[in-house]
Amino acid sequence: MRQGDRFATGEPRAERCRPRVRGAIAVGVALVWLATAGAATAGSFLPSQGPVAAPRGAVGLCATYRWACAGPTRTSAPELADLGALSRRINRSTHEIADEVQYRKPDVWTLPTARGGDCEDLALLKKRELVALGYDPSRLLLTTVLDRSGQSHAVLVVRTDTGDFVLDNLRDAIRPWNRTGYTFLRMQDPDAPHRWLRLNVRG
């Protein structure tokens, strides 16, 4: 069974977040992605294949952070300029530390501590900060993927009016989901974020 199949069916599997790429921000690349995102197309939004179990580490997430699973509101949709600035700030200010080092166990979904956090922790922090800015929490979707190396990873997918964009701790540039090279496994359900959807689609 492939990695993506095993992970998406709910079999326990720890998130393994590799260190992000350091160096200069790809500002020019980010602007190209955003400039070409003016209108939604058929492939702009992640297609789902129905309900699936939550990732093991996210099972108690709604009880701990009620805002992380809040349903649709009348607040505004995220704006791409805000997304880029916030994602860069969090990527640069949060130290990376593995769950096994910080908690002595794998796959703990929580906000970063003073010591830092890993990929799902940074994704959760970005969601909290965007909710605090007044954006609709049902458009801010925690998502599990396999990265270009086939490693388990977690990102925040932001559903704008023109498509789904990825906020990632591995890079500062924001990209449409279908230009990441990631395999998307499962994502919070935008209609009911306490539930999860199976994806199994390559970006």
Residue 166, phi-psi category: left (phi > 0), alpha (psi -120 to 50), beta (remainder):
beta
pLDDT of residue 7: 42
What is the three-state SS of the chain?
Answer: CCHHHHHHCCCCCCCCCCCCCCCCCCHHHHHHHHHCCCCCCCCCCCCCCCEECCCHHHCCHHHHCHHHHCCCCCCECCCHHHHHHHHHHHHHHCCECCHHHHCCCCCCCCCCECCEECHHHHHHHHHHHHHHCCECHHHEEEEEEECCCCCEEEEEEEEECCEEEEECCCCCCCEEHHHCCCEEEEEEECCEEEEEEEEEEEC
pLDDT of residue 74: 72
d(CA 145, CA 166): 11
Domains and CATH numbers, the chain: 3-10+33-202 (3.10.620)
d(CA 71, CA 2): 33
Question: Over its length of 203 residues, how does the chain's per-residue pLDDT go in tens digits?
Answer: 334 434 444 433 445 676 555 443 333 333 334 444 445 565 799 999 999 999 999 999 999 999 999 988 876 666 777 788 999 999 999 999 999 999 999 889 999 999 999 999 999 999 999 999 888 999 999 999 999 999 999 999 999 888 999 999 999 989 999 999 999 999 999 999 999 999 999 99
For residues 99 and 15, is the Cβ–Cβ distance under 8 A?
yes
